[in-house]
A and B are shown apart, each in its own frame.
Chain A
Amino acid sequence: MNEIPVIQRVVAVLWPSFITAGIATILFFTAFDPGVVFVEYDISRLGAYSTGFFLFWVFGAVTAISTCFFLRPCDSFNVRKKERCE
């Protein structure tokens, strides 16, 4: 795990979430017109598309970063205990 360069880790979180956010934005706003759905908020369509895109990106990045977190080898959490035993 440690042989993976930092840039690869950063990219592994930000890049797939960027792609899925793009797809999600297209699908969501094809089905729902922000001019109709968010009519009570004072926001332009372009603003709604952009905000939607970044929200999707944040959601995707949170998912990706959680996946990376849970992929850490279980043993890596026990280091302290091992040191104490020795």
Chain B
Amino acid sequence: MSEAENIQTAATDEVEQSLYAKRQKIYPREVHGIFAALRTSGVLALLGLYYIIPWLMWDGHQAILFDLPARKFYILGLVFWPQDFFYLTLLLIVATLSLFFFTALAGRLWCGYACPQTVWTEAFLWIERKVEGTRPQQMKRDKESISLKKFRVKSTKHLIWLVFSIFTGLTFVGYFSPMRELAVNFVNWNLGPWEMFWIFFYGFATYGNAGWLREQVCTYMCPYARFQSAMIDKDTLIISYDEERGEPRGARKKSVDPKNAGLGHCIDCTICVQVCPTGIDIRDGLQYQCIGCAACIDACDDVMDKMGYPRGLVRYTTENILSGKATHIFRPRIFVYAVILAAITMGSFYAILDRSPIALDVIRDRNSLFRETNEGLIENVYILKVINMDKADHEYSLSVTGIAGLNLQMDAFDIMVKSGEVVELPVRVNIDPESLQERSTEISFHLNALEGDDLSVTEKARFLGPRR
């Protein structure tokens, strides 16, 4: 084998190794401080809401219930139908704009404090610390060979994780299937196959994502991490290490004056690296793995206090400040995002409150385009779906316009629809062929509530006749 071939093989080996290289497990060190307290309160508030909301009632129904089998979404006093899909689009636009706004303002606030991945990972890390101990204890145990004690500790942790995950899955399904019944049926092990499946599917996803994958979800799965650079600029608040002040870094005694020793304020204790949940070194600059959790700020401030140096070697700052320029938090970009966000949010609220509580769907009979009656009239058959989304029952009257001389024929003329129900009406519309000008003419069905003029809906349809 020639030397060149040897090098080639060595290079291939290296690649092969990295392909199968095990990921370095990250053991985030526990951290205390302002931002840790903020994150903990965020975690408690969000998890609290998540686990409590399905148990709340409103007006005799579950306050928030996405009733898929009935195709109705209950949100407090409002009921949404598939016809209201438009509002979901509005909601998504509002969510996207909020993400733009907050990212431009202060970077990855979402990732650091509110993302479910962060929130559940925090909860899982807390359980891990309670069972397995501190970071050094965990690292030491993982290096030990398997023993009865190690097995006991590890299985306790996984058991607690699993129970917590399945409870999470149960709560998740509780948003789609009435929670109170679901809980009773779960305890009695008397659930439908699909409900059971989704409880375990969601539970398993929680266990996998928060227990095992953790920061890899952010690194490999999250698209937001990858396009955030398009949303931030030099005036965006980011977490950064003050290189000017910190370098040259190095260990020293507390009594040594850094100036005389030719050192910066960074004592190279690597605590900022140890606390990082994604295992990066913030001193290397802005990295896409950084979820903006600010654990390194708390950790470094603590060290600075102990050394008697001013806080903020790692802090929320902007690129402009770091390069000695003026920074503008309230800049045109923020202003434009804020205005659009406010306008669409208010528009959505208005549209939802102003929703018409009746809906009419017209479906043409699929079997025939038209038919001729015994009297020689041209007849079209339609199925009308009347949906009463109001809280009260209503009686409606139906009429049809579009061509002079149209006759409407129904089995029953009083259309009574109870609150929250759908009634299907087969109707026949016929006309003298002499009155038909075209093969296909647009007609309109009008539905009016009997007790009030303002409650009405009009739906267009096509009336088909023979070729002229």
> Chain A: residues with CB nearer than 8 A to chain B?
2-3, 5-8, 11-12, 15, 26, 30, 33, 35, 44-47, 49-50
Q: Is the CB of B220 within 8 A of A7?
A: yes
On whether the beta carbons of A46 and B192 are closer than 8 Å, the reply is yes
Known: A5-B23, A46-B192. 11 other contacts (CB 8 A): A3-B18, A3-B19, A5-B220, A7-B213, A8-B220, A12-B220, A33-B82, A46-B69, A46-B176, A46-B177, A50-B198
Question: How many A-B pairs with Cβ below 8 Å?
Answer: 49
Residues from chain B with a CB closer than 8 A to the CB of A30 are 82, 85
The reply to whether B216 and A7 contact each other, CB–CB distance below 8 Å, is yes
Shortest distance between the CB of B234 and any CB in chain A (Å): 31
- Compute how far the CA of A7 lies from the CA of B19 in the bound complex, rounded to whole angstroms: 10
Q: Is the interface of B mostly helix, strand, loop or mixed?
A: helix
Query: Is the contact region of chain A dominated by helix, strand, or loop, or is it mixed?
Result: helix
Q: In the complex the two chains form, what is the Cα distance from A47 to B68 in whole Å?
A: 11
**Which of A8, A12, A15, A50 sits near B194, CB closer than 8 Å?**
A50
- Are A44 and B69 in touch, CB under 8 angstroms? yes
Q: How many residues of B are counted as interface, with CB atoms below 8 angstroms from the partner's CB atoms? A: 25
Report yes or no: A44 in contact with B192, Cβ–Cβ below 8 A. Answer: yes
Which residue from A2, A8, A45 sits with its C-beta under 8 Å from B15? A2
What is the CB-to-nearest-CB distance from A32 to chain B, in angstroms, rounded to a whole number?
Answer: 10
Known: A5-B23, A15-B221. A45 touches B18 (CB 8 A): no
What are 20 residue pairs bridging A and B, where the CB atoms are less than 8 Å apart in the complex? A3-B15, A3-B18, A3-B19, A5-B19, A5-B21, A5-B23, A6-B19, A7-B213, A7-B220, A11-B221, A15-B220, A30-B85, A33-B71, A45-B71, A46-B68, A46-B192, A46-B195, A49-B68, A50-B197, A50-B198
Which residue in chain B gives the minimum CB-CB distance to A11?
B220
B462 to chain A, nearest CB (A): 20
Report the minimal beta-carbon distance from B62 to chain A, rounded to whole angstroms.
Answer: 16
Specify which chain A residues have a CB less than 8 angstroms from the CB of B68 in the assembled complex.
Answer: 45-46, 49
CA distance A59 to B47 in the complex (A): 34
Chain B residues packing against A (C-beta within 8 Å): 15-16, 18-21, 23, 68-69, 71, 82, 85, 88, 176-177, 192-195, 197-198, 213, 216, 220-221
In the bound assembly, the distance between CA atoms of A11 and B58 in angstroms comes to: 40
Cβ-defined contact, A47 with B221, below 8 A? no
Residues of chain B lying within 8 A (CB to CB) of residue A15? 220-221
Instruction: Give chain A residues whose Cβ lies under 8 Å from the Cβ of B21.
Output: 5
**What CA separation (Å) do A8 and B218 show in the bound complex?**
11
Q: Which 8 A-B pairs have the closest CB atoms?
A: A46-B194, A45-B69, A2-B15, A8-B220, A11-B220, A15-B221, A30-B82, A30-B85
Report Cα–Cα, A33/B422, bound state, in Å: 13
Output the nearest chain A residue to B176 by Cβ-Cβ distance.
A46
Q: Which residues of A contact B82 (CB under 8 A)?
A: 30, 33
Determine the residue in chain B with the shortest Cβ distance to A27. B85
Complex CA gap A7/B20 in Å reads 10
> Smallest distance from the beta carbon of B370 to chain A beta carbons, Å?
24
Tell me whether A47 and B23 are in contact in the complex, defined as CB-CB below 8 angstroms, given that A7-B216, A33-B82 are known contacts.
no
Chain A residues, Cβ within 8 Å of B216: 7, 11
Nearest residue, chain B, Cβ from A10: B220
Chain A residues lying within 8 Å of B221, measured Cβ to Cβ, are 11, 15
Q: How far is the CA of A47 from the CA of B194 in the complex (A)?
A: 6
Q: Taking CB as reference atom, which chain A residue is nearest B70?
A: A45
Question: Roughly how many angstroms separate A11 CA and B219 CA in the complex, as a whole number?
Answer: 11
Residues of A within 8 A of B176 (CB): 46
Structural contact, B23 and A7, CB atoms closer than 8 A: yes
Nearest A-chain residue to B201, judged by Cβ: A50
Chain A positions within 8 Å of B213 at CB level: 7
Q: Once bound together, how far apart are the Cα atoms of A62 and B338, in whole Å?
A: 41
Question: Shortest CB–CB separation between residue B13 and chain A, in angstroms?
Answer: 11
